[in-house]
Amino acid sequence: MSEVVKEILKQYPDAGHDSLIPILQQVQDKIGYLSEESVIEVGKHLNMPASKIFGVATFYNQFRFTQPGKYHIQICRGTACHVLGSATVLEELEKLLKIKSGQTSRDKMFSMEVVACIGACGLAPVISINGEFHAKVTTESLKNIIENYRNREA
Amino acid sequence: MIADKTYLIENTLKVSERSKVSPETERKLRYIRREENLKPVIFVGAGTCGLGAGAAETIAKTKEWLQINQVDADVVPVGCIGLCSSEPLLDVKLPGKKRISFEKVTGDKVESLLSQIFAGQMPEQPVLGQFEAQEGQEPWPGVNDINKHPFFKPQVRIVLENCGIIDPVSIEEYIARGGYKAYLNTLKVFTRSELCDFVEKSGLRGRGGGGFPTGKKWKFALATEADQKYLICNADEGDPGAFMDRAVIEGDPHRLLEGMMIAAYAIGATKAYIYIRAEYPLAIERLVIAIEKAKEYGLLGKNIFGTGINLDIVIKKGAGAFVCGEETALIHSIEGKRGMPRPRPPFPAVSGLFGKPTIINNVETLANLPTIINKGADWFAAMGTSTSKGTKVFALSGKIATTGLVEIPMGTSIRDIIYKIGGGIAGGKRFKAVQMGGPSGGCVTEANLDIPVDYESLINVGAMMGSGGMVVMDEDTCMVDVAKFFMDFIQRESCGKCIPCREGTRRMLEILESITTKPKNRETHEPLARFKGVMQLEQLGRVIKDTSLCGLGQTAPNPVLSTLQWFREEYEEHVFDKKCRAGVCQNLREYSIDVEKCTGCTVCAKKCPTNAIIGSRKSPHYIIPDKCISCGACMEACNFDAVKAS
């Protein structure tokens, strides 16, 4: 894992403070989350204490500190989605997967995250699974969507 | 190759200056613009919203069909034309014919559509319309002009001009349509201060929120001496319910780059940042390609077209914090710190990114610039109202028949936008309110629907232009719930630096939560506390407004104050009658058991967390209202549909 981080850090020789967020973003892109070791390694490279890095990373919604599932579900909770019932969709999803926002299911298959707005308000309510969009989600269609992903594994 | 590019740009400039180009060049340009195509072209709307509606499958099926039937045609994924509710959109341009656009072309409909159209028949698929004819193009009989479509007819498209029409990854097509002409002319014609004057004269105001005059803002940065200045394009679009920035970048990234080049020249910046939210992967991808291409064409880099001007554009991905829409917070975020605002002055235009003069403009503001330069400040200033010039893009969503992006001249009434362009309320329901300006904005009610959209009129009715989100709500929407939704959002997004915002918004949310749940115990002071909370809500809101540090806190109570102003009776119903007329607030629902249907299986009684259900086995059960907390567990558990909610 640290090989991956080293590879990323190589792209930032003599990096300053302002490279911190792009580096963290790249680390999360590659390994799915910010592990403790990777944060320490980034800290060494930028000459910053790990506490300071955690301070910045926890401020932003994007960063995760636990391993996400194989399928990462983002539920849009923008205004348009809310008005068209995304709260119910979120509730249903929590029930279906038996996890809350920010958690990963036990079989490591699904993880979910509430996001502010995906920007597809015309098709609300929207969820995105590994970047794949599903529009006009209802509690019924949600069951099928999740079932489809489960079947992909079987 | 480079010579070819210069040739393309030079000739485009000549076309624009109405001096002569050879018919040969004109033909070449027409060919690049796909006005004269030798083989059929199929355009598919593949912005994020298009893809959400299934455009990826449409493209795949189209390619499959072309291969099976051995038809040689180009398939071009384009951005979003703005008509989200009709996605996926598929346009066909046959050689010698006008471009025709079909709506709702999901993957399964591709085969029959293409078979029919390539057999020379008119497909059965609903037609949006056909595009304006160019010379030598034959119209489709009996098909309306797309500009006559009720959605497009009242629109004036400047920022969205090319969205959904041109190939977003082709710089050649952008140039052939007159792109980058404004920038190159600017370098030739204007000095920096002349350019600032010119833009100030046009009356362009910031499209991201406050609406500060753009030219004026630039002058502050221009007047400040510094060895380095920065331009930042704010493409963070944290405002839930607005997506025009995403659509512009996905559909026409070069327009944004050109706007940035003009703005950077105006203030003398040699480095520019695009701060874009990470939730927009497609937009980022298109921007990366666009910047690469612009560099290749010599439009970015060192000594641009021999003028001695340098400019670099760098993409910085946002990390998901709403407060970063605030200028000083955004700057901190680029610097790699927590995105927390700082007191102003000094304003960023004097001391911003890394302590250097910095101008932050919104995507839509920048995207307006090329057209203003091309058509003139007076032309732009002639559109709109006395204080708000030009056009504004609105994102129509919520309970409206036609959702999408519309661009209308300032001064159009909100009623026209909702009823003429948006087709009114979906499902024949009654209009209740339209939420404008996101979490910083407010609601516009039926009584104010006829006000013109401009910065001042909207502020007067307690709403805000903001970034242009328009979420329509009907009678099934609970306004207290909407206020709660925004408070929840703001409470989570508050950076926590100043107390009024951090603690005040949390307290406001608590009050709203208490009035949307049933009091648990009538004997205690709880009902009184509920009532007291509501009394304080308004005052609390005003204090937060007056004492917060940044724009986020200063506007945070707006959703509550605005709904309190226009929908006080709904709040009162929640407090006094413990009723939610829209039936949204689940915790206020009253549950009862239908004795006819109840079989006495006791499932509900077992599920009830407060033992509010009594009854013996095999006889109908009963809910004690005072004990019920309205969780709805019984309704879900019942296998006989016997539990009713009201």
Which residues in chain A are contacts of B339 at CB distance < 8 A?
Answer: 59-60
Of A56, A78, A84, the CB nearest to B240: A78
DSSP string, A64-96: -SS---SEEEEEE--HHHHHTTHHHHHHHHHHH
Of B52, B318, B398, the CB nearest to A120: B52
The strand pairing partners of B391, in sequence order, are B409
Q: Distance (Å, rounded) from C-alpha B519 to C-alpha B404? A: 41
Residue in B368, B404, B463 with CA at minimum distance from that of residue B244? B404
pTM of the predicted protein model: 0.92
pLDDT at B258: 97
pLDDT at B3: 45
Q: Distance (Å, rounded) from C-alpha B614 to C-alpha B602? A: 9
pLDDT at B11: 57
Which residues in chain A are contacts of B489 at CB distance < 8 A?
Answer: 77, 116
SS3 of B211, please?
Answer: coil
Of A19, A80, A116, the CB nearest to B238: A116
Within 8 A by CB and 6+ apart from A112, the residues are A72, A73, A74, A75, A93, A94, A97, A99, A100, A101, A102, A103
Task: Please name the residue of chain B whose CA is at the shortest distance from the CA of residue A83.
Answer: B398
In Å, how far is A1's CA from the nearest CA of chain B?
23
Cβ under 8 Å to A: B residues 344-363: 354
Query: Are A122 and B316 a contacting pair at CB < 8 A?
Result: no
Which pair of tokens denotes residue B428? 């024949």
The answer to whether B242 faces chain A, any CB pair under 8 Å, is yes
Compute the 3-state secondary structure of chain A and give helix, strand, coil in percent, each to the nearest 5.
50, 10, 35
Which residues in chain B are contacts of A133 at CB distance < 8 A?
Answer: 48, 51-52
pLDDT at B521: 66
In Å, how far is A93's CA from the nearest CA of chain B?
15
Query: Are A122 and B396 a contacting pair at CB < 8 A?
Result: yes
Which residues in chain B are contacts of A80 at CB distance < 8 A?
Answer: 240-241, 397-398, 403, 471
Interface A:B, Cβ pairs < 8 A = 145
Which residues in chain A are contacts of B240 at CB distance < 8 A?
Answer: 77-81, 116-117, 121
Positions in chain A whose pLDDT score sits under 50: none
Positions in chain B whose pLDDT score sits under 70: 1-20, 520-522
Which residues in chain A are contacts of B87 at CB distance < 8 A?
Answer: 122-123
Which residues in chain A are contacts of B435 at CB distance < 8 A?
Answer: 79
The strand pairing partners of B122, in sequence order, are none
**H-type alpha helices, B276-403:** 281-296, 327-334, 363-375, 377-381
Query: Are B84 and A123 a contacting pair at CB < 8 A?
Result: yes
Cβ under 8 Å to A: B residues 145-164: none
pLDDT at B472: 95
Which pair of tokens denotes residue B251? 């559909």
- Classify residue B155 as exposed, middle or buried by CB count within 10 Å of its CB (0-12, 13-18, 19+): buried
Which residues in chain A are contacts of B338 at CB distance < 8 A?
Answer: 55-56, 59
End-to-end CA distance of chain A: 28
In Å, how far is B584's CA from the nearest CA of chain A?
10
State pLDDT tens for residues A91-100. Answer: 999 999 999 9
pLDDT at B4: 57
In Å, how far is A12's CA from the nearest CA of chain B?
14
In Å, how far is B335's CA from the nearest CA of chain A?
4
